[in-house]
């Protein structure tokens, strides 16, 4: 009886919620509460997402949403883009456009939907395609309504619910309903959602419902935590899942790791010629480190990154034999091939799935699920573990760089799959030490030579630049990047240093035109020539997000400037010393005879800091900004 009642109620609700397609005004703009227009470019009036999991290979997703676009800045969100591939299908798309009063202006015509290739620039080929639609309307505000129904053939990942799609999007109402067979375990992890989903049980299904109303706009915040931790969000998963006939269990990282391990097992068989090559290269070597290094170099020299992801190819690697003959592969294929090379040399290693990116240091560690987009290789050792990034042809063996450093990653193993952490590169590693010798003549022109040694994460970009850019382009980079008003690069040189932490030495000779300003008998000069990197931040008293600083680093500049004779100081900047939770900074100028000595030291910590500390960060950076631009004024005697 109880069941029947709820069913009737659900049916009634569904009827009530169904949009009327003509006649009465729909979603007139005037009914939007004022608070939801503040700082917003779009307002999500209504969103209903229903997910029906029929079995492990049949997930139906229906999304119905209504968005009011308040102004041109929100116009991009009115575009519809739905991707699909061999593992999913779009069953239907419908839509409507309404003007501010809520009068229907247009309905979506199927012939206006474009079906395009979605092969990204980084890939040679994938199955990804995309259907796009746009109403093209520019009388603001206006409202669009879409309903999309899709089918996924896999349960490896279930769509995520984040009603507020962006910081300048506000939400009137959004619901998520997930229906699954009653004996099925639905896992979920929510953020900033108060309460639990409402669960209703029918004879053989169970429905979980989430609902949220009135979400206000968020302000963009510098160095904020991930967006999904700042707004209501629900992530979903199943325990058992299926991906193109392969079955797995994601109740634990171990289960998920084992699945990926097995999906890729047995693909590490090398052709005989490659095996022979491994022995030729490594049999004479004694240490494990030397073998790893030699094989890594060999792999880097003979292969390149080409991404082909067809069908299950996003998760399953090309086999090692095909990489050996073709000389290319994606991150999985190259890591798997490297693993095969090491195996032939008697060294065990594991493929590791990672979420890569300089701003991707976290995953939802308490919610095992497929959160990865990259593969690297881990070579466990008794003393040291060696990490290998197999898609980069320039990295030294064992160094990962900012793309995959300091984060939880999933190690794939036959028996012992688990989350492990990649290495942390600390302040002592990420340094920039620079010595500058400069001479300024009486008209303000400067000749300088500088030697700069950058290491660790601070040299990642530079390493790329010196390998990837022609000398011409490097020069262009130097011409744009030095921050002087007008200058010529007389000479420059880069040298990779043979140090444990990767480091690059840069030598430059620069002719700076009018570096010092000469006005009559005075000369104005900024002794800090290159390191002007403080920023003016705005004071934000309503800061919500914790502050996340990714990289700890240390910069030291020592500058010696020889001035023309006959000047005496009129105004010399006083030494500055700043200290905060975020780091320490000091700068001092000393004038002795006609020689200026300037020393600047900046140490920045990494970590997550409470939002309340933001004013201190503003003050710290503001102080550096000013101190970095302090001028020395001299008068002719």
Partner 1 sequence: MPCNCMRYIPCLLTCVVSGLLSLSALAQENGKIKFGKVSKEEFTDKRFEKDTGAHAIVLSEIGSSAFEADGGDLRLVYKVHRRVKIVDKNGFDVATVRVPLYKGDTREEKLLNLKAAAYNLENGEVVETRMDSKNIFNDKQDKSLLVKKFTLPAVKEGTIIEYAYTVASPFYRYLRSWTFQGEYPRLWSEYSVAIPEYFDYMLIPQGYEKFAIEKKDYSRVTFSFRTERSGAAGPSDMVTVTPGVTTYHWAVKEIPAIHPESFITTVDNYVRKIEFQLSAYNWPNEARKPVQSSWEELMKDLMKTEDLGGVLNNNNGFLSGTVEDLVKGAKTDQEKAQRIYNWVRNNYTCTDHSALWMEKSLKTVFSGKSGNVVEVNVLLTAMLRKAGLKADPVLLSTRDNGYVYQFYPLLTRFNYMVVHLTIGEESHDLDASEPLMGFGKLPPVCYNGAARTIDEFATPVFLNADSLREQKFTSVLLGKIENGAVAGTFMQRPTYFESYDIREQIKAKGRDEYFKKIAKSYTGEIELTSKEIEDIDSLELPVMTKYEFKMQVGGDDIVYINPLMGEAYKSNPFTSMERKFPVEMTGVSDEIYSFNMDVPDGYVVDELPKSAIANFNETEGVFQYMVQQVEDHIQLRCRIKLTKANFMPEDYSGLREFYDLIVKKEAEQIVLKKKK
Size of residue set near partner 1 by CB under 8 A? 61
What's the DSSP call for residue 161?
B
| Secondary structure (3-state) at 379 | strand
CA distance 193 to 262: 36
CA distance 233 to 229: 8
Nearest to 441 by CA among 336, 538, 342, 516: 516
Contacts with partner 1, 565-584, as mask; x by CB under 8 A:
-----xx-------------
From candidates 382, 472, 491, 637, binder to partner 1 by CB under 8 A: 472
Contacts with partner 1, 599-628, as mask; x by CB under 8 A:
---------------------------x--
Across the strands, what pairs with 585? 578, 602
From 179-187, 300-308, 429-437, 449-457, span contacting partner 1 (CB under 8 A): 300-308
Contacts of 29 (CB under 8 A, 6+ apart): 68, 100, 101, 102, 141, 143
Neighbouring CB atoms inside 10 A of 300's CB total: 20
Residue 393 or 423: which CB sits closer to partner 1? Answer: 393
Q: Which of residues 229-268 bind partner 1 (CB under 8 A)?
A: none
SS (H, E, C) 523-559: EEECCCCCCCCCCCCCCCCCCCCCEEECCCEEEEEEE
**Cβ contact 173:212 at 8 Å:** yes
From 169-177, 400-408, 425-433, 476-484, span contacting partner 1 (CB under 8 A): 476-484
CA distance 523 to 633: 6
Neighbouring CB atoms inside 10 A of 491's CB total: 9
Q: What angle do CA 268, 409, 425 make, to 5 degrees?
A: 110
Residue 485 or 577: which CB sits closer to partner 1? Answer: 485
From candidates 18, 488, 499, 507, binder to partner 1 by CB under 8 A: 488
Contacts of 329 (CB under 8 A, 6+ apart): 303, 305, 306, 317, 318, 322, 323, 336, 337
Across the strands, what pairs with 144? 67, 97
From 7-15, 154-162, 341-349, 466-474, span contacting partner 1 (CB under 8 A): 466-474
Neighbouring CB atoms inside 10 A of 482's CB total: 16
Q: What is the DSSP string of 584-636?
A: EEEEEEEEETTEEEEEEEEEE--EEE-GGGHHHHHHHHHHHHHHHT--EEEEE
From 134-142, 329-337, 379-387, 610-618, span contacting partner 1 (CB under 8 A): 134-142
CA distance 327 to 337: 10
Write down the least CB distance from residue 291 to partner 1, Å: 21
From candidates 18, 213, 279, 326, binder to partner 1 by CB under 8 A: 326
Residue 97 or 596: which CB sits closer to partner 1? Answer: 97
Residue 106 binding partner 1, by CB under 8 A: yes
First to last CA, the chain: 103
From 113-121, 143-151, 224-232, 396-404, span contacting partner 1 (CB under 8 A): 113-121
From candidates 189, 229, 509, 522, binder to partner 1 by CB under 8 A: 522
From candidates 5, 139, 273, 565, binder to partner 1 by CB under 8 A: 139
Residue 109 or 245: which CB sits closer to partner 1? Answer: 109
From candidates 117, 214, 574, 595, binder to partner 1 by CB under 8 A: 117
Residue 636 binding partner 1, by CB under 8 A: no
Residue 137 or 494: which CB sits closer to partner 1? Answer: 137
What's the DSSP call for residue 410?
E
Q: What is the DSSP string of 58-69?
A: EEEEEEEEEEEE
Residue 103 or 468: which CB sits closer to partner 1? Answer: 468
From 209-217, 326-334, 452-460, 601-609, span contacting partner 1 (CB under 8 A): 326-334
Across the strands, what pairs with 571? 633
Q: Which of residues 439-458 bind partner 1 (CB under 8 A)?
A: 444
Residue 412 or 591: which CB sits closer to partner 1? Answer: 591
From candidates 279, 479, 495, 581, binder to partner 1 by CB under 8 A: 479
Write down the least CB distance from residue 634 to partner 1, Å: 12
**Cβ contact 305:330 at 8 Å:** yes
CA distance 457 to 439: 32
Cis amide linkage into residue 141, ω under 30° from 0: yes
Residue 592 binding partner 1, by CB under 8 A: no
Residue 111 binding partner 1, by CB under 8 A: no
Write down the least CB distance from residue 475 to partner 1, Å: 9
**CA dist 399 → 183, 419, 424 (Å):** 47, 19, 11
Contacts of 447 (CB under 8 A, 6+ apart): 438, 439, 490, 509, 510, 511, 512
Residue 539 binding partner 1, by CB under 8 A: no
Residue 18 or 467: which CB sits closer to partner 1? Answer: 467
Residue 279 binding partner 1, by CB under 8 A: no
Contacts with partner 1, 303-322, as mask; x by CB under 8 A:
-x-x-x--------------
Write down the least CB distance from residue 115 to partner 1, Å: 7
Write down the least CB distance from residue 140 to partner 1, Å: 10
Residue 131 binding partner 1, by CB under 8 A: no
**Cβ contact 547:613 at 8 Å:** yes
Residue 486 binding partner 1, by CB under 8 A: yes
From candidates 247, 467, 495, 581, binder to partner 1 by CB under 8 A: 467
Name the CA dihedral angle for 351, 355, 358, 364, rounded to a multiple of 10 degrees. -130
Write down the least CB distance from residue 468 to partner 1, Å: 5
Residue 3 or 485: which CB sits closer to partner 1? Answer: 485
From candidates 30, 286, 480, 592, binder to partner 1 by CB under 8 A: 480
Residue 86 binding partner 1, by CB under 8 A: no
Write down the least CB distance from residue 482 to partner 1, Å: 10
Write down the least CB distance from residue 403 to partner 1, Å: 17
Residues that bind partner 1 (CB under 8 A): 71-73, 105-106, 114-117, 119, 124-125, 134-139, 301-302, 304, 306, 308, 325-328, 393-394, 444, 467-473, 476, 479-480, 484-486, 488, 513-514, 517-522, 524, 536, 538, 570-571, 626, 629, 631, 633
């Amino acid at each position: 009886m109880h069941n029947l009642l709820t069913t009737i109620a659900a049916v009634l609700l569904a009827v009530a919620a169904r949009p009327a397609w003509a006649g009465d005004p729909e979603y007139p703009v005037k009914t939007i509460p004022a608070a939801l227009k503040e700082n917003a470019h779009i307002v999500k009036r209504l969103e209903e997402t229903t997910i029906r999991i029929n079995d492990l290979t049949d997930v139906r997703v229906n999304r119905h949403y209504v968005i009011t676009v308040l102004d041109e800045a929100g116009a991009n969100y009115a575009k519809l883009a739905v991707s699909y591939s061999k593992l999913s299908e779009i069953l239907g798309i419908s839509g409507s456009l309404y003007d501010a009063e809520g009068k229907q202006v247009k309905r979506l015509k199927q012939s206006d939907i474009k079906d395009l290739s979605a092969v990204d620039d980084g890939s040679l080929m994938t199955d990804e395609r995309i259907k796009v639609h746009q109403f093209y309307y520019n009388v603001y505000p206006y409202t669009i309504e879409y309903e999309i129904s899709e089918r996924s053939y896999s349960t490896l990942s279930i769509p995520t619910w984040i009603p507020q799609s962006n910081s300048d999007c506000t939400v009137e109402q959004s619901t998520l309903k997930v229906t699954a067979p009653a004996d099925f375990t639905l896992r979920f992890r929510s953020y900033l959602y108060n309460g639990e989903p409402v669960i209703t049980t029918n004879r053989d299904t169970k429905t979980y419902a989430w609902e949220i109303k009135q979400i206000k706009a968020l302000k963009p915040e510098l160095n904020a935590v991930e967006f999904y931790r700042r707004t209501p969000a629900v992530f979903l998963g199943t325990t058992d899942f299926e991906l193109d006939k392969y079955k797995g269990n994601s109740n634990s990282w171990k289960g998920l790791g084992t699945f990926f391990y097995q999906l890729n097992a047995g693909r590490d068989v090398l052709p005989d010629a490659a095996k022979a090559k491994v022995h030729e290269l490594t049999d004479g070597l004694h240490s494990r480190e030397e073998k790893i290094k030699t094989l890594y170099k060999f792999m880097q020299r003979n292969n390149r990154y080409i991404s082909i992801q067809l069908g299950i190819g996003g998760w399953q690697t090309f086999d090692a034999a095909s990489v050996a003959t073709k000389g290319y592969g994606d991150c999985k294929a190259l890591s798997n091939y490297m693993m095969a090379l090491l195996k032939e040399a008697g060294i065990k290693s594991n493929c590791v799935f990672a979420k890569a990116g300089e701003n991707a240091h976290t995953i939802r560690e308490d919610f095992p699920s497929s959160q990865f987009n990259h593969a690297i290789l881990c070579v466990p050792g008794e003393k040291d573990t060696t990490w290998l990034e197999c898609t980069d042809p320039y990295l030294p063996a064992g160094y990962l760089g900012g793309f995959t450093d300091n984060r939880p990653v999933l190690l794939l193993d036959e028996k012992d799959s688990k989350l492990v952490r990649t290495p942390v590169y600390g302040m002592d590693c990420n340094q920039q030490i620079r010595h500058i010798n400069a001479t300024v003549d009486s008209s303000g022109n400067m000749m300088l030579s500088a030697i700069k040694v950058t290491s660790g994460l601070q040299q990642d970009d530079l390493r790329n630049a010196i390998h990837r850019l022609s000398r011409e382009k490097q020069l262009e980079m130097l011409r744009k990047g030095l921050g002087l008003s007008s200058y010529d690069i007389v000479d420059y040189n880069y040298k990779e240093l043979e140090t444990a932490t990767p480091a690059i030495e840069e030598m430059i000779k620069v002719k700076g035109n009018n570096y010092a300003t000469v006005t009559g008998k005075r000369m104005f000069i900024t002794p800090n020539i290159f390191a002007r990197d403080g920023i003016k931040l705005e004071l934000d008293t309503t800061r919500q997000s914790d502050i996340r600083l990714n990289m700890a680093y240390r910069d030291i500049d020592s500058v010696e400037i020889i001035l023309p004779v006959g000047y005496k100081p009129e105004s010399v900047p006083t030494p500055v010393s700043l200290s905060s939770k975020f780091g320490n900074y000091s700068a001092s100028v000393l004038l002795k005879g006609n020689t200026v000595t300037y020393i600047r030291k900046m140490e920045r910590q990494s970590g997550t800091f409470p939002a309340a500390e933001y004013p201190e960060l503003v003050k710290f950076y503001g102080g550096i900004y000013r101190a970095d631009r302090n001028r020395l004024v001299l008068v002719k005697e």
